[in-house]
Structure 1
Amino acid sequence: MSAPQEDPAFINETKEKWNRVRNSAITFLALRTEKYLALKQARRARLVECVLYIGFTIIFSYVIIAARDTSKAFNHAQGVREYLIGTEIPSLPGKTFDTVATISELWFWINEVLVERVIWSQGNDLRYPILGNNQFIGPIRIRQARVMELQCKMPPALAYRGSNCYNEYSDATMERRKNPPGTSWPLYGECARMSPTLTDCRNWTSYNPGYGWVPIDSFAGTTYGGGGYEVELPVRKSDTLLLLKDMQKYEWLNDNFTRAVFFEFVLYNPNSNLFLSTLLAVEIPPSGGMVPSTALRVVDLYPQGRKSSQQATALFYLVFGMVIVMTVAEILMVLKHGRDFLKDGYNLITVINIIFFFIVYILDLNSLTTSSKILSKTSNVNDPAIAVKIHQTAYIAKLVYNFNAFNAFLAWLRCLKYMDLISDRTERITATLSACASSVAALLVIFGIFYAGFSIAFFAAFGQDLYRFRTMGMTCLSLFDILMGGGNLQELVQYNKVLGPLLFVSFVVLMALVLLNMFLAIIVQTYSHVCERMEKDQSEVSSSVRWVARKGARSLLKMIFGSGKKKNVVEKQKDDSLLNESELRIIWETDHDAFEVMGISRLSQFLDIADTTGENEMELSAVQDHDKKLDGNQDQGTNEEISHLLMKLLERTSAVMLEQKKLRGIVEGSRPTSRVANAKP
């Protein structure tokens, strides 16, 4: 690029200014060139890492969203929930499945809601859909878990009343015997005398080990397994009503022996190509009463049937490949840095993220394998074992969703690592979060001590009276709700006029007013310290990335909106302490050979290296500061010698290149009047 020649006075003045500072400036630029090249390499590596990881996070997030069509899944589950659970029992106005409290009320729900709404057909199979086009996969099962009658140690004053008791459900107390003691169930072979249409009753009078574990969320944390005394409802409504009548007559369900009743079936909707695992449970604790619960899990067992599912599956394998690459990269980093690798919190997040990714892929592989076997041509979908496998697969799919939710949070949390590339403000915020981690951890220890004490106190004072404090886990959650402003003081005072207000006020004052304000004070103080530190010492790589981004944005805006017509006369720089872009272009033409020896081969590269303000300007004060720094160095003689040798080398190289150009001009028969850019000897 040729120098501006419209103003010779300006060019001469620029050359004079350059000659005054040339020696110091050349040394300054030589060191900046080395630093520039190192920063360029580090900047490129950081940008590549940032772009790849954020791209991976976006693709992974899309896979989570696309793989789970929440609107269809919600509508599918909600429709069945309202159809069975939200319907009132005709004989018991106001009563629904969620509010049944006795065995008799449960029988009313079974006969008047479950049978009437599920087995409405008089057909001979289960292909008749319900609630639109929801078709049954396998039979409808009712299963109960029972306990044995045991001898308990009772107070002597009450011993005359008997010592029989019925404990909680466990492997030691569960009943497995055929026609267990205490029941009036018919013996095997007597079923034909009960009803002419029923010839076999052994399925509900004998223990069935089941077809595998059926997952259910127990309010008491009990695992019931997949076995029990069960019955498969006939496909005809009339047969079903006769069967249920006989079961009720012989007290198949009992308040003392029965600990849980399960209603299990699977629905398939071809319109949405989704399966619905339906598990309704009623648990009967030893203290009496009933605790109903539901688990409606929608699962996509046949992704090949939907285009969106196929795309999500393809992206799923793409993400898996990216996880493999990320794993290899992290292993190489561990081998390179050793234990220091885990000292960085972001690296620890990455390791946890990768572990959960592999757990998800193992569970997904298991689900895909199971679903392919279930839906194969040789599979009998009316087999009860198939329905149990669908229940299990739906539960695994639920686990996958939970792990993916945690993975998504960790993946986006790690994006904070690259926030310093956006602006100095985001860098300060992320640096504050990292710097205050140790102080916040210390505060959390104190917070945990107070929180544990208050949790035990509230549980002991209100655990028997208030539902929200019935367990330690619920108490901890309820206290957090109080901490966020959701407390009900009147409710506490109603059940304990002394401890209610005392514990409530103490908790709010200590936890909300004191400890939370200490937390805010730590954040504010750390932010102030970070701002002071960053004003003195900023990350060179982050600053370099932001600097390049600003220059690129400025150039893009000029390209879009235009910069107006070029001026024929270059304005003189009023500030003599700066070398503006026009002056730097003149200097580039003047000392091009010296800069080329230093490794600066392009004008744009020279402008980037010389730029100290971000506006394509070079501050001469930066050169002076560099000289002072060299003068203050302990090894001053060595620095001066290096500077002297560098200048001699540059001057010698420039002289040799100039002589070669003159000789070339003589050979060509004409004396050059202007220098040729980028000439090579």
Structure 2
Amino acid sequence: MAKQVFASLASKLRKGGIAAKDAAQAKFLHKRGMNPKSTLREFLLYLVFLLDLSILTFGMVNTNMYFFTKVMSELFLETKSFINGINFKTIRNIENFWEYTEGPLLDSLYWKEWYNGQPLDPGENYIYYENILLGHPQIRQIRVRNNSCSIHEYFQKMFKDCYDAYTFGNEDQSPFGPRSGSEWEYHAPNNEFELWHWGRLGTYGNGGYIFELTRDKVATAGKIKQLKSKLWLDSGSRAVFIDFTVYNANVNLFTAIRLLVEFPATGGAIPSSELFTVKLLRYVSNFDYFLAACEIIFCFFICNYLLQEIIALQSYRMAYFKNFWNCLDFLIVLFSLLAIFYNIYRTIKVSLLLEQFLENSNSYQNLHFLAYWQNRYNVIIAFTVFIAWIKIFKYISFNMTMTQLSTTLSRCAKGIVGFAIMFFIVFFGYAQLGYLIFGTQVESYHTFGNCMIILGDFDFHEIENANQILGPVYFVTFVFCLFFVLLNVFLAIINDTYSEVKDDKTLKEVDFDIYDVFRKGYNSFLLRLNLKKPSSLAYRPAVSKGGKETQEAPEDDFEKYDPNSAF
């Protein structure tokens, strides 16, 4: 397309019939060294890369993932006990935990008959008749040592035991209870690469006291009843994990489910859950093989971009990072390399784990580790796609409007930094004030981190009930300071700078307008195919004073030529 533009310009120059504006454009491009042809070629190649990356990204997820997660979540989190209506979300103490485990959990894990009472085939363990349970579910307990906290001398006679909140330093790893089985002994983590779990009250390791369920519901129920009678959970228990993985062959999806119940040192219980629905077996259907071809193309693109960035880094060194677009290129290549390496690792690891599962299906299969990292892989790809789409601004910025916007952002940067300092001073001040006033009564303010996140999204009745005087005062002053004052200051900084940029007559014009290049090339293409009539304002002969004919540029509706502008 750019070739057609330059060919058209050259043809007009040879014929001596070029408009003044076109001549100035050609001269300007050669003078500045800006080549629309190379820019357009780079832009079109980047669009191919972006299309390939988008196909890969949206090929990883589909609506079945949401419905699979929703079905499993409703089954294991919301199914109520027939006796007292307890479900996982309503667990409030150790007794509720055992009631949930003996009732809704076992009923949800073991499906032995159809809805009409007809028994399923022996050995089958399908959930909702469509989803197979991979291996045995596992229940893991984390404990703290006795006397891990200090009791004030006034109450030492009243309390013989003291169990502190969980930390890695006070974790109990010694056998306890009757010591009549492996569930009473500590098991070290068998996967050193698996990350710790971040719960609502703390961060927990991967070891613990482990009890594996079996495929027989009656035997499992008997074992759970035995653990309950022997106080497997007591004052030293701080967290219980229930881990298992479900696979659906119809949609080729895995769901790694982790149910966590934390027992704070204050008493009670806090349930939480984590469900990762991922596609670990990648190459099954025809569309999967199409995605594999896209992955190969993606790797070629990344190798090419990697070489370009290495050459640029060697040439410019640290000055390379002073350019915003270079930083985006660097992040795209970095995230893409991480995604490629993880994709290879995941494929190999899944094959090994599934081989182990087929050899020994009567044991716990830890796919939560892979599902977790697959979820992190999806996050990396999501950021890569986001940055890749942002980079399109690099190619569409060759026009006056985009130049004005970028100049506005660069000129108001110092003002925004100063505003940000003032904003965060007020913001952190209100966060600390809210934490100290309402932290002991309102859940949204029970930690300083929550205060910073929730600030601005008030539940007025909650803070009013916590303190009838300071609650309304806190709300009114916060809204006035941040919304009526600081927010308007922020908008004023941007509006004032944008007005200055628009009125700036010395603002540097862009080297060429990519939209104009596309338009000229498109019109030339239509003319060659005789799909468009020549403009009625064609160049017409004009008679000079000497009687000779010369080419005269028409008066058209385009803007007047400015020798200081580009297109």
Residue deviations 1:571-604 (CA, integer Å, cap 9, x gap): 5669x9xxxxx9538xxxxxxxxxxxxxxxxxxx
Give the C-alpha shift of residue 28 in structure 1.
12
- Alpha carbons 1:204, 1:229 under 8 Å: kept: yes
* Structure 2 match to 1:359: 338
**Partners of 2:98 and 2:260 in 1: how far apart?**
14
Tell me the TM-score normalised to structure 1 length.
Answer: 0.72
Equivalent position of 2:80 in the other structure: 88
Separation (CA, whole Å) in 2 of partners of 1:237 and 1:416: 59
Does the 8 Å CA contact 2:438/2:466 hold for their aligned counterparts?
Answer: yes
- After the TM superposition, which residues 259-658 of structure 1 pair with which residues of structure 2 at under 5 Å, given as runs? 259-376=238-355, 380-382=359-361, 384=363, 387-388=365-366, 390-421=367-398, 423-479=399-455, 482=456, 486-533=457-504, 536-540=507-511, 542-543=512-513, 545-555=514-524, 562-563=532-533, 583-584=550-551
Matched letter for residue 99 of structure 1: T
Q: CA offset at residue 552 of structure 1?
A: 3.0
Pick closer, same or farther for the CA change 1:48–1:173 going to 2, 3 Å: same
Q: Secondary structure at the match of 2:142?
A: strand
1:134 and 2:131 equivalent? yes
Deviations 1:428-472 (A, max 9, x none): 333323433333223222222221111111111111111111212
State how 1:193-212 maps to structure 2 within 5 Å: 202-212=181-191
Do the aligned residues in 1 keep the contact of 2:141 with 2:240 (CA within 8 Å)? yes
Q: Where do 1:15-30 residues align within 5 Å?
A: none
Q: Distance in 2 between matches of 1:356 and 1:527?
A: 34
Equivalent residue of 2:232, what SS?
coil
Distance 1:560 1:105, change over 3 A: farther
Structure whose residues are more often helix by fraction: 1
| CA deviation profile, 1:104-154 (whole Å, cap 9, x unmatched) | 111111111111221233999753211131112111111111112116433
Give the corresponding residue for 2:60: 67
Question: How far has the Cα of 1:68 moved from its partner?
Answer: 1.9
Deviations for 1:557-583, whole angstroms, at most 9, x for unmatched residues? 66676327989x985669x9xxxxx95
1:120 touches 1:237 (CA, 8 Å); kept in 2?
Answer: no
Cα deviation 1:20-59 (Å, max 9, x = unaligned): xx9xx99999997654435675222222222222332232
| Structure 2: distance between partners of 1:553 and 1:152 | 78
**Aligned-partner Cα distance in 2 for 1:29–1:363:** 52
**Mapped pair 1:47 → 2:40:** yes
Match of 2:216 among 218, 236, 239: 236
1:611 & 1:251 partners in 2: Cα distance?
Answer: 96
Instruction: Check whether the contact 1:111–1:241 (CA below 8 A) recurs between aligned residues.
Output: yes
Q: What fraction of aligned residue pairs are identical, expressed as a percent?
A: 23
Structure 1 residue matching 2:80: 3-state secondary structure:
coil
Note the alpha carbon deviations across 1:406-438, whole angstroms, 9 max, x for none: 2222222222222223x5334433332343333
Q: Deviations over 1:177-222 (max 9, x none)?
A: 22x2xx4x3x43xxxxxxxxxxxxx122222224334754411231
Tell me the alpha carbon deviations over residues 337-360 of structure 1, each in whole angstroms, 9 at most, x when there is no partner: 343322222222322332222222
RMSD: 3.5
Q: Which amino acid aligns with 1:66?
A: G
Task: Tell me if the contact between 1:216 and 1:295 (Cα under 8 Å) persists in the aligned partners.
Answer: no
Paired residue secondary structure (2:359): coil
Aligned residues: 537
- Establish whether residue 165 from structure 1 lines up as the match of residue 141 from structure 2: no
Unaligned segments of structure 2, at least 5 residues:
1-15, 113-118
Give 3-state SS (helix, strand or coil) of 2:361's partner: coil
Taking a change above 3 Å as real, the CA distance of residues 237 and 298 of structure 1, as seen in their structure-2 partners, is same
Asked whether 1:108 is paired with 2:70, we answer no
Counterpart CA distance in 2 for 1:42 and 1:139 is: 64
1:263 and 1:419 map into 2 onto residues whose CA distance is 52
Conserved in 1, the CA contact under 8 Å of 2:111 and 2:126?
Answer: no
Q: Distance in 1 between matches of 2:22 and 2:432?
A: 68
Return the index of the structure with the highest Cα Rg: 1
Relative distance call for 1:611 and 1:50 in structure 2 (3 A) is farther
Residue 167 of structure 1 contacts residue 286 of structure 1 at CA under 8 Å; is this kept in 2?
yes
Alignment correspondent of 1:679:
none
Give the direction of change, closer, same or farther, for the CA distance of 1:288–1:298 in structure 2 (3 Å limit).
Answer: same
TM-score by length of 2: 0.85
**Cα pair 1:346 1:414 within 8 Å, conserved:** yes
Q: What is the SS of the residue equivalent to 1:537?
A: coil
Q: Secondary structure of 1:150's match?
A: coil
